[in-house]
């Protein structure tokens, strides 16, 4: 399993908490970043910054900021 670091921020930009996700090494970088990781956005009203954990496993996760999910 591939480890991904996650940091949650409030809309004000203030740090809230960190988390660690585990995703399959079978995924390519695009599917991991835009299909699998958003499913783990556990605090939908906050920004989520994802980064590679540096564990040396594939896929490498480029840093990406996910905006809060809009509830309708």
Is 4 within 8 Å of 25 (Cβ atoms)?
Answer: no
Is 72 within 8 Å of 50 (Cβ atoms)?
Answer: no
For the whole model, what pTM was predicted?
0.86
Q: For 7-64, what is each residue's pLDDT tens digit?
A: 999 999 999 999 999 999 999 988 999 999 999 899 989 999 999 999 999 999 999 9
Residue 28 in 3-state DSSP? coil
pLDDT band at 70 (very low <50, low <70, confident <90, very high): low
Query: Domain range for residue 41?
Result: 2-66
Is 19 within 8 Å of 69 (Cβ atoms)?
Answer: no
Q: Does residue 26 lie within any of the structural domains?
A: yes
Q: Does residue 71 lie within any of the structural domains?
A: no
pLDDT at 29: 87
For the cut 70, the answer to whether the pLDDT of residue 71 exceeds it is no
DSSP state of 18: E
Total domains present in the chain:
1
């Amino acid at each position: 399993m591939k480890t991904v670091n996650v940091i949650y921020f409030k809309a004000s930009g203030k740090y809230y908490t960190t988390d660690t996700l585990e995703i399959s090494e079978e995924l390519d970088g695009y599917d991991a970043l835009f299909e699998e990781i958003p499913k783990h956005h556990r605090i939908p009203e906050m920004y989520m910054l994802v980064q590679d954990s540096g564990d040396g496993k594939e896929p490498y996760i480029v840093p990406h900021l996910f905006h809060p999910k809009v509830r309708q």
